[in-house]
Chain A
Amino acid sequence: MFGKAITGGALLLATSLTPVWAQDNKAVTIVLNEEVDVLEPCMATRSNIGRVILGNVNETLTELDVRGDQGLMPRLAESWEQMEDGSWRFHLRQGVTFSDGSTFDAQDVKHSFDRVFDPTITCEAARYFGGMTVAANVVDDQTIDFVVDPVQPILPLLLSLVTIVPAETPIEFVRDPVGTGPYAVTEWSPGQQIVLTRRDDYWGEAPEVTQATYVVRTDPAVRAAMVEAGEADIAPTISQDDATNTATDIPYLNSETVYLRLDASQAPVNDVRVRRAINMAIDREAFIGTLVPQDALLATAIYPPTTQGWNPDVQVPAYDPEGAKALLEEARADGVPVDTPITIFARTANFPNVTEVMEAIQQMLQEAGFTVELQMVEVAEHEVYYSKPYPTDRGVYIIAAMHDNRMGDPSFSAYFKYHSEGRQSGISDPHVDDLITRASAATGEERNKLWSELQAYVHDEVVADVLLFHMVGFARVAERIDWTPTIATNSQLQLSEIGFKE
């Protein structure tokens, strides 16, 4: 009885509705994997929000080129220079209007900045300015100075993370973001869809896409099915298992690095031989093309190879279980308590196949002679182990985590992960601290050289952690769409980069 109703309804539907799905216009539907909680411009560095509004609704002064190798490009700023006192002067673009009709000028930039640091709201963009004081001083309508203490060599890069809103924007979070971008939000039904419509008065070149509808499906198989069924045009993340059609499914390095953090303050992990043995006991190659996508890279740093100051000479530790055993025996002979049970904590659903990867690592470590337990935990509990102050009553543990650095500069990782004061650091090494401090303040070739040195030192001498993979994501793109994902796709999806075939 019920089956008949379905069949009947479905037939009716097939004749009446199909044309609506098979859009042949320039509107696109994008199916995202995570709910969009707020549409607040100052939260655009959070990936679920940035994917929708960053570069589409709200723009930034500068922009990192993730498709070519132009480095930092102008967007709302036309040019910038560092003044003699170390502060930065930005010259703003003229003839730019917000979607509410007001004109863009230096006051808007100042207000956007003040808003980010306002104590009555929590803006995520503030995280990139830790340990600095930033003052934005309006020089004239088209010029603004940033005085940063201490002097910040990568300030222009940091400004690619601060979205610009009109000076009239209230301090509290907004639900109808106004920006200078090529699109404006025209509909938001929470839980159902967000619609962006192209603006006619955009300052730059008009993009091809006229309208974009965003929907959210948390199940990866459904996202893949939606593009296949023609209900969506782009699914930025689908699972490795579903990525079976080479014509539509594109792998891309997604700026995430998977690693195991070792806490060098706990015995036996405080012994460098033990840390080396852990590294040698893991057969990283065996994961590639099996539990981890074929295109993933073995990691030698906590940030991806496209980052400034990348050191190509650092080698992945060779898989050597016998060598690991020998090192362990050596340590044991010196009285290191190598039999102490170690727990691996990992987060469920952190990345695809995380449980299987961790089970395999557990077995590899056990084969090398470690006593290892595995515990999968939910995100809140994971955070307890991941960040300082570390719990002291849980025994010796290793934490598996994934770190994202898409910004192209190691400073977004190094301090947090390796400085002795860093919130997720497992080491305390004065030379590392010194290198980080010097590299952060340096510019040009000197900066690259110092970061290279740090990468090699942390990896080869300190053996701070177990770096595993630079991860790969898969996007499914409808055949009519001309678009390729980039390393930044996780956090930003500019509609202006989407074209149509034919």
Chain B
Amino acid sequence: MLTFIRKRSVASLISLVGLVILVFFLSRLTGDPTDLYLPIDATDEMRAQFREIYGLNDPLIVQFGHYVGDLVQLDFGESIRKARPAIDVVLEAFVWTLQLAVITMALVTAAAIVVGSLAAFRVGGFFDRVSGVLSLVAASAPDFWIAIVAIVVFAVGLGWLPTSGTGTPWHWILPIAVLFIRPFGLIVQVVRGSMINALSSAYVKTARAKGIKTRKIIFVHALRNAMLPIITVIGDQAASLLNGAVVIETIFGFPGVGKLMIDSILQRDFTVVLASIMVTALAIFVMNLLIDLAYAALDPRIRH
């Protein structure tokens, strides 16, 4: 397994380098930050000076050389907007995103597996129908609707929860509840589908014939068989959360990496874009590695 992890790390490092090169050059095709940073009535001297300070006059390849030179010394560059090291800005935001993602995905995984499995156990039954429709509505409703309505009802109307912000644990309830909905709806459906297959497999039928308890059949025997696509989809959803939950961050004032990334892209604050991509990509690579290890653990026939 260690060999596998080592090989994978090398491969991931290569992907990361590729990603950085790709983003570095492609993002510079989308314009120059000078006119976005400076006010519209800035003087020409200010513009020239700005380009000089941030090295924007150099040929692209020279700029890239500087960037890589700094990067190997773990210097990710300065954020133009925030006048601070880009990596500080990104890590500060990523901590919030990581917490949101981990808590939400833990809740989603637990809830979706239970609901999806129960739905699959009696296909077409009442529970299956109700949970099916509800989870589909959840997966396809615009999240800002739910967020705004939740604020209007729970914070303004009933006064139970704070509208937004980050001060106390109560501040986390609404954002996590809203964030929970879409991946939950999607994963319930995948769990259900995958479990229907697993429950009809010969393996489970044997277990049933042996007289093993229903609950044990569902949650031990069938689930283990059904887990591969479930884990994959959980990984996909977790990856999108690690890239930031823009709507939630915007509405609830959570200082996460999604809003940061959007703002830096729109403002062409390239160092922040690159630093946040490196951080989130690293997180996603690690997660994919864990998922691949989980495949092998769940199904010993899968060898790396």
> Interface residues, chain A, CB within 8 Å of chain B?
1-2, 6-7, 9-11, 13-14, 17-18, 21, 35, 37-38, 40, 45-46, 119-122, 124, 126-127, 129-131, 173, 175, 190-192, 215-219, 221-222, 225-226, 228-229, 231, 378-381, 383-384, 386-387, 412, 416, 423-424
Contacts and interface: CB of A to CB of B under 8 A. Distances in A.
B35 A126 contact: no
B130 interface: no
Given A127-B46, A217-B164, A225-B156, A423 B266 contact: no
B37 interface: yes
Contacts of A416: 40-41
A1 B165 CA distance: 25
Interface stretch (B17-25, B60-68, B249-257): B249-257
A127 B251 CA distance: 34
Nearest to A127: B42
B159 A2 contact: no
A221 B168 CA distance: 22
B151 A225 contact: yes
B156 A423 contact: no
Contact of A219 (B84, B161, B251): B251
A2 B107 CA distance: 9
A18 B158 CA distance: 12
A75 to B, nearest CB: 23
Interface string B248-268: 001111010001000100111
Interface in B113-155: 148, 151-152, 154-155
Given A216-B253, A217-B253, A222 B38 contact: no
A190 B39 contact: no
A241 to B, nearest CB: 12
Contact of B163 (A6, A173, A229): A229
Given A122-B49, A173-B83, A215-B165, A383 B159 contact: no
Contacts of B36: 379-380, 383
Interface string B18-58: 00000000000011000111111111111001101100000
A386 B177 contact: no
B177 A423 contact: no
A435 B92 CA distance: 52
Contacts of B154: 6, 10
B155 to A, nearest CB: 5
Interface in B65-100: 81-84, 89, 92-93, 96
Interface of B: 30-31, 35-46, 49-50, 52-53, 81-84, 89, 92-93, 96, 107, 111, 148, 151-152, 154-156, 158-166, 168, 170, 173, 177, 180, 250-253, 255, 259, 263, 266-268
Contacts of A14: 159-160
B37 A122 contact: yes
Given A127-B46, A215-B253, A222-B253, A424 B40 contact: yes
Contacts of B259: 218
Contacts of B152: 225
Contacts of A1: 111
Contact of A122 (B50, B168, B252): B50
A14 B173 CA distance: 14
A131 B44 CA distance: 9
Contacts of A217: 164, 251, 253
B49 A131 contact: no
A492 to B, nearest CB: 16
Given A222-B163, A380-B266, A412-B41, A190 B35 contact: no
A380 B160 contact: no
A221 B43 contact: no
A38 B38 CA distance: 14
Contact of A35 (B38, B163, B263): B263
A217 to B, nearest CB: 5
19 contacts: A2-B177, A9-B173, A10-B160, A11-B160, A13-B161, A14-B159, A122-B50, A124-B38, A127-B39, A127-B42, A127-B43, A129-B43, A191-B255, A225-B151, A226-B163, A231-B165, A379-B36, A379-B266, A381-B31
Contacts of A129: 43
Nearest to B184: A2
**Best-surrounded residue of A10, A13, A222, A229 (most CB of chain B within 10 A):** A222
A222 B164 contact: yes
Contacts of B151: 221-222, 225
Contacts of B263: 35
B164 A190 contact: no
Contacts of A424: 40
B250 A124 contact: no
A168 B165 CA distance: 36
A6 B266 contact: no
Nearest to B42: A127
A218 B250 CA distance: 6
Nearest to A191: B255
Nearest to A416: B41
B35 A119 contact: no
Given A127-B41, A225-B164, A229-B156, 11 more contacts: A10-B161, A35-B263, A37-B82, A126-B45, A130-B42, A192-B165, A217-B164, A217-B251, A222-B251, A222-B253, A383-B40
Contacts of B148: 219, 221-222
A34 B72 CA distance: 34
Contact of A225 (B155, B173, B255): B155
A21 B38 CA distance: 38
B156 A228 contact: yes
Contacts of A192: 165-166, 255
Nearest to B51: A122
Contacts of A191: 92-93, 96, 255
